[in-house]
Amino acid sequence: MKKWWWKILCIVLLVYTVTAGLLLDVPRVRILNETIRNLYFHVCMWFAMMILFTISVVHAVRYLRTNNLKFDILSRQYAVVGMVMGVLGYITGAIWASATWVDPNNSAAASFGAIAREPKLIGAAIALLIYAAYLVLRDSVQDIDKKARIAAVYNIFAFAFLFPSIWIIPRLLPSLHPGGEGSGNPALDFNGLDARMRVVFYPAIIGWTLLGVWIVSLKVRLAYLNEKKLSAL
């Protein structure tokens, strides 16, 4: 394995996340109960997605500055794995919401009607769909240089749109999701998050992000091999 030390770090952090995340003491909060531990898994997916998308847009800008196709490949693979993390975050969020947001006195349809209106869910769905369009757009262009340039420009737009759709608008509207209506950023607020949770939460973010970067590095190396093979033909 190439440059293995950060891969070991990733494994250690993830093993720590799972064991400490399930066994250590957490604050007792009504309604959330034991599901508060999802902070180490569900929230970390979104953090990893955000970090991977940021690296992706940086590579897109680097491609536009240098016209080096290497950065185009990097940019695309970071975006794809970022989307995988985002979809996992969405699915885990749905499971979490079905246990904490749903009113057992209402019918399933009424609960769904209330939850489907959540600005955070709609915003996250829009953001992920915009990134899905990135893949469609990129892979529908035949010319290699044109494909790379259009994809890089669109990537910058998609990244810029993340901010209103998942960070700003859900914060302005009333929401069941933490962070609604100007209550700040619940996960990053250093004083709001219990110290017992912070010792697991921060390592968990790093661990899950490194796992994403690891997968990206494998995909990028495969893509390079492919390019080499094509240029040798």
Partner 1 sequence: MIKKMVLCLLFQIPILFAFAQDSSAEMADTFRSNGKIYVVVAVMLVILAGLILYLVRLDRKISKLEKNP
Which residues of this chain interact with partner 1, rule CB under 8 A? 1-2, 7, 11, 14-15, 18-19, 22-23, 27-30, 32-34, 194-196, 214-215, 218, 221-222, 225, 228-229
Q: At its nearest, how many Å lie between partner 1 and the CB of residue 186? A: 15
Direct distance between the N- and C-terminal alpha carbons of the chain, in angstroms, rounded to an integer = 28
Among residues 161, 160, 159, 182, the alpha carbon closest in space to that of 170 is found at 182
Among residues 104, 119, 134, the alpha carbon closest in space to that of 173 is found at 119
Query: Looking at beta carbons only, is 2 or 142 nearer to partner 1?
Result: 2
Q: At its nearest, how many Å lie between partner 1 and the CB of residue 135? A: 22
Q: At its nearest, how many Å lie between partner 1 and the CB of residue 1? A: 5
From residue 99, alpha-carbon distances to 35, 109, 117, 145, 174 in Å are: 8, 15, 17, 48, 20
Task: Report the distance separating Cα 188 and Cα 136, nearest Å.
Answer: 33
Segment holding 8, helix H or strand E: helix 5-23
Query: Looking at beta carbons only, is 30 or 140 nearer to partner 1?
Result: 30
Query: Looking at beta carbons only, is 20 or 153 nearer to partner 1?
Result: 20
Q: At its nearest, how many Å lie between partner 1 and the CB of residue 201? A: 15
Q: At its nearest, how many Å lie between partner 1 and the CB of residue 139? A: 22
Beta strands in 19-136 (DSSP E): none
* Per-residue DSSP letter, 190: T
Query: Looking at beta carbons only, is 108 or 195 nearer to partner 1?
Result: 195
Query: Looking at beta carbons only, is 104 or 229 nearer to partner 1?
Result: 229
Maximum distance among all alpha carbons in the chain? Answer: 66
